[in-house]
């Protein structure tokens, strides 16, 4: 199976709606390889991961890891050569009509039984003004996802709304942000293993807690327009939390 090219209909859909689900994009064998490395991150989460939903009532040593946040790049030294990574940049470039480069990835694992939603947010709310209309994310679930185990939801056309005010999520010690959205435009996106969801850096999105019987595992890949130089010129609400030391730093202006 070869990786697909973006067709005119997909490009038009993305530009109108701010998101796109590409069905059957990644071969199962390539996902198996990626998932093997993600399982290593789960097994070593105390050393290699943050808890993106670190409960304010828990000490750093006793974080319950309701969202395991790490990156397969830590354990897969040749990941940059993986076929899916090359494909993401090409496909994203067609959607954005910009020369796009891979920027960074995150493994986001939600355990069964004790997880948390990834609340509504826009990626630019985290990344700052540097990324204005210059970012896109390709979200790769490692199993089928639906509204029970934490699929993605997007606000239809929400990339046209500008950057919404964000704030920290109450009761969390992590840097998790959220914003208010008009849920009339909420589109839940169930996906099969092999599908990939793209969203524009201004598209509000969320995923629910995992109420299924098994881990919900996903690798989210962030891409930026060539020459952007990463995040910066942050919004006032942005803080960074070092989960090794517990130190919190306000970086926004």
CA gap 5, 224 in Å, rounded: 19
Shortest distance, position 2 Cβ to ligand AKG, whole Å: 25
Is 105 among the residues that bind ligand AKG (CB under 6 A)? no
Task: Considering the complex, state which of residue 137 and residue 173 has its C-beta at the smaller distance from ligand AKG.
Answer: 137
Task: Considering the complex, state which of residue 1 and residue 210 has its C-beta at the smaller distance from ligand AKG.
Answer: 210
Is 201 among the residues that bind ligand AKG (CB under 6 A)? no
- Binding mask 220-239 toward ligand AKG (x if CB under 6 A, else -) reads x-------------------
Is 103 among the residues that bind ligand AKG (CB under 6 A)? no
Beta strands 152-155 and 135-141: pairing type? unpaired
| Cα separation values, 104 from 72, 137, 138, 142, 184, Å | 10, 10, 11, 18, 32
Nearest to 117, CA basis, from 210, 182, 31, 55: 210
Task: Considering the complex, state which of residue 54 and residue 139 has its C-beta at the smaller distance from ligand AKG.
Answer: 139
CA geometry: angle 42, 206, 172, nearest 5 deg: 65
Is 137 among the residues that bind ligand AKG (CB under 6 A)? yes
Q: For residue 54, how far is the Cα from the chain centroid?
A: 17
Interface residues with ligand AKG (CB under 6 A) are 108, 118, 123, 137, 139, 150, 205, 207, 218, 220
């Amino acid at each position: 199976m070869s990786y697909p090219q973006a067709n005119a209909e997909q490009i038009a859909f993305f530009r109108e709606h701010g998101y796109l689900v590409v069905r059957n994009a990644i071969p199962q064998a390539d996902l198996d390889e990626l998932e093997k490395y993600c399982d290593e991150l789960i097994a070593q989460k105390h050393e290699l991961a943050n808890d993106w939903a670190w409960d304010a009532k828990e000490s750093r040593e006793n974080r319950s890891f309701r969202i395991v946040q790490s990156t397969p790049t830590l354990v897969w030294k040749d990941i940059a050569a993986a076929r899916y990574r090359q494909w993401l940049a090409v496909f994203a470039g067609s959607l954005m009509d910009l020369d796009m480069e891979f920027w960074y990835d995150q493994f986001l694992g939600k355990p069964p039984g004790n997880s948390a939603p990834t609340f509504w947010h826009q990626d630019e709310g985290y990344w700052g003004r540097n990324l204005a209309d210059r970012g896109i994310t390709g979200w790769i679930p490692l199993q089928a996802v639906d509204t029970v185990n934490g699929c993605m939801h997007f606000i239809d056309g929400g990339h046209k709304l500008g950057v919404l005010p964000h704030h920290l999520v109450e009761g969390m010690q992590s840097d998790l942000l959220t914003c208010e959205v008009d849920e009339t435009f909420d589109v839940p996106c169930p996906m099969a293993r092999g599908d990939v969801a793209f969203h524009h850096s201004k598209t509000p999105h969320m995923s629910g807690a995992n109420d299924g019987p098994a881990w919900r595992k996903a690798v989210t890949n962030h891409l930026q327009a060539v020459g952007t130089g990463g995040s910066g010129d942050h919004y006032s609400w942005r803080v960074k939390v070092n989960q090794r030391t517990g130190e919190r730093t306000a970086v926004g202006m």
